Each structure stands twice: as structure tokens, then as C-alpha cells.
Amino acid sequence: MAPPQGSRAPLEFGGPLGAAALMLLLPVTMFHLLLVARSGPARLLGPPPYLPGLEELWSPWALLLCLTWLGLQAALYLLPARKVAEGQELKDKSRLRYPINGFQALVLTALLVGLGVSAGLPLSALPEMLLPLAFAATLTAFIFSLLLYLKALLAPASALAPGGNSGNLIYDFFLGRELNPRICSFDFKYFCELRPGLIGWVLINLALLIQEAELRGSPSLAMWLVNGFQLLYVGDALWYEEAVLTTMDIIHDGFGFMLAFGDLAWVPFTYSLQAQFLLYHPQPLGWPLASFICLINAVGYYIFRGANSQKNTFRKNPSDPRVADLETISTATGRRLLVSGWWGMVRHPNYLGDLIMALAWSLPCGVFHLLPYFYFLYFTALLVHREDRDERQCRQKYGLAWHEYCRRVPYRIVPYVY
Ligand SMILES: NC(=O)C1=CN([C@@H]2O[C@H](COP(=O)(O)OP(=O)(O)OC[C@H]3O[C@@H](n4cnc5c(N)ncnc54)[C@H](OP(=O)(O)O)[C@@H]3O)[C@@H](O)[C@H]2O)C=CC1
Ligand SMILES: CC(C)CCC[C@@H](C)[C@H]1CC=C2C3=C(CC[C@@]21C)[C@@]1(C)CC[C@H](O)C[C@@H]1CC3
């Protein structure tokens, strides 16, 4: 198939070979983590305790549950929103509109789950179903990506993403061809990025907490901490939902297997790894250490939220009194770059805060297993790679001004280290 005109973007993720390898490696890693988390030795780098057969992975009930969950979140997405936000300007100069009702979806889901549990819904049975649920989510993501690929064949050239249109089927399937696939006003990428996966993640965490309480009389302090920290993170993402409209996933990347699998399977089933680990490997944690870990999470959150809010406020209105005094440099595009405040400390202060929080989520699991640190390790790799991609895009967008910014702010993520 010939690449569409004008698509000359350099190949990322190691090209078609890298994309094929990731498509295999990501689900395999997810199942490995699910299996070792419940095994006695819980060794991240050891072999899985056993290889599950298809009868253990495939369950029509799990698929039904997965589709019902997606249907519920889609219905909540369609409810009237407190605000409708406009996205960034597209190639054809138009702007898409997005409902801002993610936090409302989280609260309504919590109410529905609360009602369900009080009516006898066995939420604590969820941890036993993680394997078939993850399989169903992977299958759903694969079929969904296939449909998205086919849908993109009918899309006009102006609707295609800059990256996922190389003409190589595997690469384009992985990266995604269409930038903002929609049916009427329902935006699939925006919906998947924040709702089913993120809310699913905290629901799985809650189910693990409830099962721990049933097993041991009450949830452990470590389990409370992991649940609390991650609920704060998800609540924050949904409260500041509008900010996702300026991320590279929404502005730059197409919607293909990478994001569909990432959003629907990877996030709920691997981001809940610490809580999964704690259910099978209870860890003693005293109040002094717990308080120290809370402090680390608070510092991480303070940097993460401060940096993200500063940039979002500045991008929305550079004369806002909260950012008007910050030093900036001009660029040829007319947009300015912050060179003081959080964005004068390192070029990605929000990543630094996010990484500090990631560490705080693992610490309640103790220091004798590597497994609960998987998220921290994976996330470091993801953010270093993401920073590199963003840097390339900014260099292209801002040219000399970006070089000046790099000269003024030489460190990328960690001051004086990287
Ligand atoms: N938990 C998870 O799995 C993940 C979490 N995240 C988190 O999501 C959040 C969003 O991350 P992400 O989308 O990667 O990127 P950022 O929010 O860091 O956005 C990068 C963009 O910010 C703008 N920018 C960069 N430097 C400056 C500056 N000095 N002044 C003003 N604007 C600047 C540029 O866009 P422009 O100039 O066009 O505005 C650049 O492209 C982060 O907090 C990240 O940690 C991200 C990925 C995964
Ligand atoms: C499976 C692959 C390794 C890559 C998958 C990447 C996705 C899991 C992430 C890509 C960007 C994401 C963002 C978030 C969650 C993870 C994914 C979807 C947030 C919604 C997390 C909360 C933050 O406040 C905003 C993030 C935006 C980007």
C-alpha cells in the first residue's frame, strides 16, 4: 500500500520490526506480571509459575464484563457535561469539542459500585478473574484497533495522524492511522485515554483491598497507602481532564494498538500491580515509615501538579496573574516558552514529580522484591523515551528558540543528573 501524500514522518519505536515486537512483548509482559504477582516467590525476572491454558484465559463472562464496563463508561461519557472544551487547532484549521465530565464519571461509577456492593455484588471476586479479564481486554483492544485501522481507510487525508501512515501495515496498525477517530461527537481516543482504563485501575485496586479485608480481617496499611495514592492520581487526571487535550497522545499520535491496548489493558492490569502483590504478599508497615512514604508522595504530587498547572495556565492565558511574572522566551510560532518557575528547573518537571510518586507507590511493598518496582522501572523508560519524542517535536516546532531553551535549562528530567 502506498503511503499517503505528505506523510514523511521518521519511523519511531524501531519501525515495523519494533512495532511487531512490542505488540507481542507488551501482552506477554502483562500476563507474566499477573502470574508472578500471585506466585510465592514473586520474582519479576524469574519464569512464570506456570503457563496458563486457553481454558484459564478465555471466559465469555469476562468478555461480557469487559464490554459491559466499556458500555457503562461510554454511557457516562454521553451524559451532559459541566463544560465542553475545544481541542487544539487541526490541520484544516477546525477545532474539535470534548465533554469535560470525567470526574463526574468517576463519582457516578463509585456510587453505582457502592449501590452494587450493598446489594450483594461480589466485588472481591474480581481479583480471581484478573487473568480472563486481562485476556478479554487484550482481545477487545486488538479487535478495536483492527476496526480503527479499517475506519481510517475511509478517512480524508486531513484526518490522518502525522506518524502512523508509513504504508507499512504492522507499523501503522500499531501506531494508529487516524488522529481523532470519532462517530458523531463520540471521540474514541479521548474516551479511552481517561475513562475505562483509569477508572478500571482504581476499581481493581478497591477489589483487592476488599479481598484483603475478607482474608485478613482488615486491609493492611500498605494496601491503604497504595489505594489512596493511586486514587489521588486518577482523581487528579479526571479533575484536570482538559489538560489531556494538549498531550502528544491527543495532538500527535494516531489511535492504534499502542494506545488502545495501553488504555484498555495495560493501565488497569499492570498499574494495579502493587495492590495485586500486596494481596498475596502482605508487608508489615509501621506508621513512621508510612508517614515518610506519604511525604514522598506529597512532594511528587506537589511538583507534578505545580508544573502541569503552571504550563496549562500559561498556555490558556499568558497574562494570568499566576504566571504573568514568569520569565519567557519568544518563538517564531508566536507561542512563548517558560524559562523560570517549574519549567526553568528542568525541561520536564512534571515527569520528575510523576516519577517521585511512582517510587512512593512501590515503597509500601517493602524492599525485598523487585516486582512492585516494575511500574517505577517501566515508567522511567517510558518517560525518557517520551521526553525524547517530545524534544524532537519541539525542536522541529520551535527551532532556534528551543535550542536557547535547552541552553538556559540544560537538564531534562532530574536536576544535575539527566
Ligand atoms: N502515568 C502514565 O502512564 C503517564 C503519565 N504521563 C503524565 O502526563 C502528563 C502530560 O505529559 P506529556 O503529554 O508527555 O507532556 P507535557 O505535559 O510535558 O507536555 C509537553 C509539551 O509542553 C510544552 N512545553 C514544553 N516546554 C515548555 C515550556 N518551557 N514552556 C511552555 N510550554 C512548554 C510543549 O508543547 P507546546 O509548546 O505545543 O504547548 C511540549 O510539547 C505529565 O505529567 C506526565 O508525567 C504521561 C504519560 C504516561
Ligand atoms: C503500552 C505502551 C507501553 C504504551 C502505553 C502508554 C499509555 C499507557 C499511556 C500513554 C499516555 C498516557 C497518559 C496517561 C495514562 C497512561 C497513558 C494512556 C495519563 C492519563 C495518566 C494520568 C496523567 O495525569 C495524565 C496522563 C496523560 C497521558
Q: 3-class DSSP state for residue 182? A: strand
Residue 347 and residue 310 share a domain: yes
Residue 410 and residue 359 share a domain: yes
Residue 345 and residue 214 share a domain: no
Residue 146 and residue 64 share a domain: yes
Residue 408 and residue 348 share a domain: yes
Enclosing domain of residue 84: 59-151+185-251+258-282
390 lines ligand 2 (CB under 6 A): no
d(CA 47, CA 67): 31
The answer as to whether 146 is a domain residue is yes
253 lines ligand 2 (CB under 6 A): no
Total domains present in the chain: 2
Residue 418 and residue 306 share a domain: yes
List, for residues 273-299, the tens digit of each pLDDT value.
999 999 999 999 999 999 999 999 999
Contact 308, 350 (CB under 8 A): yes
The answer as to whether 159 is a domain residue is no
Residue 307 and residue 240 share a domain: no
Residue 331 and residue 308 share a domain: yes
The answer as to whether 43 is a domain residue is no
Whose Cα sits closest to atom 2 in ligand 2? 262
The answer as to whether 34 is a domain residue is no
160, β-bridge pairs: 178
The answer as to whether 113 is a domain residue is yes
d(CA 249, ligand 2 centre) in Å: 8
Determine the pLDDT at residue 194.
Answer: 93
Residue 373 and residue 275 share a domain: no
Residue corresponding to grid cell 519464569: 47
List, for residues 138-189, the tens digit of each pLDDT value.
999 999 999 999 999 999 988 899 888 888 999 999 999 999 999 999 999 9
d(CA 332, ligand 2 centre) in Å: 30
Residue 194 and residue 93 share a domain: yes
ipTM of the complex: 0.97
Residue 236 and residue 103 share a domain: yes
d(CA 213, CA 224): 11
Q: Which residues of the chain have pLDDT under 70?
A: 1-8
Alpha helix segments (H runs only) across 78-124: 102-118
Tell me the one-letter amino acid at 101.
N
Q: 3-class DSSP state for residue 42? A: coil
Residue 271 and residue 205 share a domain: yes
The answer as to whether 128 is a domain residue is yes
